[in-house]
Structure 1
Amino acid sequence: MASNKPAPEAPSRFGSEYVDDFATRPATAFGTEYGADYATDYGTDRGSDFGNDFRADETGPERAWEEWNPTEESVRPVRGKHRVAKQRNGLARSSTVLGVGVIAAVGAGGMATAQSKPPVSISLPDSIADNLPDAKSLPGVGALFSGGSEAEAQEAVVASAPLTTAGITTAEAEQGSTDAGEALRARILQQAEQQQDAADAEVKAAAETAAAEKAAAEAKKQQDAAEAKIAAEKKKAAEEAAKKAEALRLAKLAASYAIPTSSYTITSTFGEAGSMWSSGYHTGLDFAAPTGTPIKAIHSGTVKSAGYSGSYGYRTVLELEDGTELWFCHQSSMDVSIGQRVTTGDTIGRVGATGNVTGPHLHLEVHTADGTGIDPMAWLRARGLTV
């Protein structure tokens, strides 16, 4: 480490006249201008505060500076009288005295300069020194250590990779990119463009998906409507076919079934309540007609009974093949006998007013095979007959 060389002495900015005047000024002048204490401390012995070996008016040979290593013996606490600076005109007295003393020192002897000092060696810990790069490996520096010329060093610096190429990929270098900032900017723009393309593709895919879902929903709606229409048409066709089949069946039945009499009027129906009937309600269907009107067999069957039956008057019971019984009551006369086989439309008797009646009529009852009485009108209509 090189030591400091002494600086050339600078001429005083105040001139020798000021120094002489300051050195010879009587104490009374300081006492009057700065106070008695100041004149006593600094007017008569300026060296006491600046050091015994440093005086403003002392000139002599330069003193060599030596390195000072403070020890416990050399560093002693400051002792003596400490005065508190008195304020005068907003300035501390001690500051004023120090300023005047510095001016006097500069004017008398000039600014002190540091003398030469022995060089100091600097050593680094091994942990740091081992990790430092080799100076010869640095770009443009190795040529200086190998003794090359300045031109060679400059060529080495130019030949080495410039600092601006830091961060440039191999592909970018092959494309001629040499500026790291421009390369980074290009990468950022490329990434932004890729992200924008990805976002646009995602939006496009979402729009296509939504359009496909909408189209699928519309197609399903149309398909459901078409299927519903087809189902309705099929149902309607089935109903029409069923109606036709039923009509055909009824037509066939009607060909085998017949209304029991003609020129009639329905006066009482099944289930009507009234005191005139012993059961409390009407158990059959009444066809009012003139006396002697022919009574025909409704369907083919066998005469089970024929004769007088109390309140029913003259009654003929015709049993059908399924066990159903047809009762023809209140006849004026009967034209068949027990066990006789009859077919549809055969005359079996005539309308009369025998038994418990209020006038000539045919009282027709229908009983199932188990003997239960049912509504004759519903039974006749179920077989295609219009009553």
Structure 2
Amino acid sequence: MASNRPAQPTPFAPNETHTFGYNKDEGPWEEWNPTADSVAPVRGRHRTGKQRGGGGLARSSTVLGVGVIAAVGGGGIASAAPDKAPVSISMPDLSSVTESARALISDGGSSAPKGSTAPFTTAGLTSADEAQGTTDAGEALRDRIMQQAQAQQNQADTATQKAAQTAAAQKAVDLAVKQQNEAEAKADAAKEKAEEAAKAKAEQERLAELAKSYSLPTSSYTLTSTFGEAGALWSSGYHTGLDFAAPTGTLLKAIHSGTITEAGWAGAYGYRTILTLDDGTELWFCHQSSISVSVGQKVATGDVIGRVGATGNVTGAHLHLEVHAGGAATGIDPMAWLQSKGLNP
């Protein structure tokens, strides 16, 4: 047998201060010079127990894991430092460990054949899952999560659809209300317009009826000065009546039935006749060339009361007509008053 070359001196030899886990009594330390005989395997002296199947490591790991879980569940992890109080660790209830796991522990390490598709645990399986043929807890959990997600999505879709339907319904209601309001507004406008038309028609009929009892004071005339015109020709500074220019001698008629309350000379008004109506309104006929009635005389619409002239303060022949409502000293616009009686000078 050939011997190996002497080994080189080791750079480091353990001493009592570097035992690397050995007690002081284990030793002494010696250098080892391996040879072919010392490294050759010893036959027949040491045999390794035959392992059953290919899952021994898995079985031992499983047993170890279950044991650790059981130990932890039973009383928590022991404290490594004896001088410190142990910390209690809360762990979930392990009652859900299935019979297959317990059998794995009790049968001394037997396990399912390699490549088996049987589930490791059925913890968490419900009767509904088993009825559907589900045997794997993870698959069942995944299914329940998917079902819950689908249910939530369905709820969200339903809520969205309901919100859209509600918005559409509200929009339809708003549109209907708007259309109703517009229709009512149109109806009110049409009603108001119809009422105004009816009032106008009634007023026209009233004026037409009044026109039968009222008459213009003369004919073949020209309106020269209206009420309110300013000028030095009038002592008041403005025109107080309505002038009907016509040739001298043109007949003057009673505008409405009433009583003659004045007939004679009136200074700047020349010859004047005052006709007082039943409601107290006074009609002044001024600048006449002649008077055909006397005080206290009753006259009817259209009766002749005098003739056009140019007496008093005038620049030509015309009728100066004034209207004094209720016998007031200040007159009102004769044009407006005549129009209120259905007359259009």
TM-score by length of 1: 0.62
1:139 aligns with 2:85: no
1:227 aligns with 2:214: no
Pick from 367, 373, 376: which aligns with 2:334? 376
Which secondary structure does the structure 1 equivalent of 2:337 belong to?
helix
Q: Does the C-alpha gap of structure 1 residues 51 and 327 become closer, same or farther in structure 2, counting only changes over 3 Å? A: closer
* C-alpha separation in 2, matches of 1:51 and 1:213: 94
Q: CA deviation at 1:384?
A: 0.6
Q: CA deviation at 1:377?
A: 0.9
In structure 1, the partner of 2:90 is none
In structure 1, the partner of 2:44 is none
Which AA in structure 2 matches 1:374?
Answer: I
Q: CA deviation at 1:210?
A: 2.8
Which secondary structure does the structure 1 equivalent of 2:5 belong to?
helix
1:315 aligns with 2:272: yes
Percent of pairs with identical residues: 57
Which AA in structure 2 matches 1:180?
Answer: A
Q: CA deviation at 1:235?
A: 2.1
Cα distance per residue 1:169-215 (max 9 Å; x no partner): 34323444211122122112212221222222223223222322332
Pick from 208, 212, 216: which aligns with 2:169? 212
In structure 2, the partner of 1:244 is 201
1:180 aligns with 2:124: no
Q: CA deviation at 1:288?
A: 1.2
In structure 1, the partner of 2:247 is 290
* Larger helix percent: 1
Which secondary structure does the structure 2 equivalent of 1:140 belong to?
helix
In structure 2, the partner of 1:258 is 215
Pick from 147, 152, 174: which aligns with 1:195? 152
* C-alpha separation in 2, matches of 1:383 and 1:305: 23
In structure 2, the partner of 1:18 is 5
Cα distance per residue 1:51-104 (max 9 Å; x no partner): 79xxxxxxxxxxxxxx9589xxxxxxxxxxxxxxxxxxxxxxxxxxx9xx7453
1:348 aligns with 2:305: yes
5 Å-filtered alignment, 1:330-345, equals 330-345=287-302
Q: Does the C-alpha gap of structure 1 residues 68 and 373 become closer, same or farther in structure 2, counting only changes over 3 Å? A: same
* C-alpha separation in 2, matches of 1:343 and 1:294: 15
* C-alpha separation in 1, matches of 2:341 and 2:321: 16
* C-alpha separation in 2, matches of 1:365 and 1:273: 16
Pick from 288, 305, 323: which aligns with 1:366? 323
Q: Does the C-alpha gap of structure 1 residues 163 and 283 become closer, same or farther in structure 2, counting only changes over 3 Å? A: same
Q: CA deviation at 1:338?
A: 1.6
Larger displacement relative to structure 2 (171-180 or 373-382): 171-180
Which secondary structure does the structure 2 equivalent of 1:302 belong to?
strand
* C-alpha separation in 1, matches of 2:302 and 2:206: 19
Which secondary structure does the structure 2 equivalent of 1:356 belong to?
coil
* C-alpha separation in 2, matches of 1:320 and 1:386: 20
Q: Does the C-alpha gap of structure 1 residues 49 and 368 become closer, same or farther in structure 2, counting only changes over 3 Å? A: closer
TM-score by length of 2: 0.69
* C-alpha separation in 2, matches of 1:129 and 1:364: 125
Which AA in structure 2 matches 1:18?
Answer: R
Q: Does the C-alpha gap of structure 1 residues 318 and 49 become closer, same or farther in structure 2, counting only changes over 3 Å? A: closer
Q: CA deviation at 1:50?
A: 6.7
Q: CA deviation at 1:227?
A: 2.1
Q: Which residues of structure 2 form unaligned runs of 5+?
A: 17-21, 40-70, 77-93, 112-117
Q: CA deviation at 1:141?
A: 7.2
Which AA in structure 2 matches 1:206?
Answer: A
Cα distance per residue 1:203-261 (max 9 Å; x no partner): 32232223223322332333233223222221221121111101011011111211011
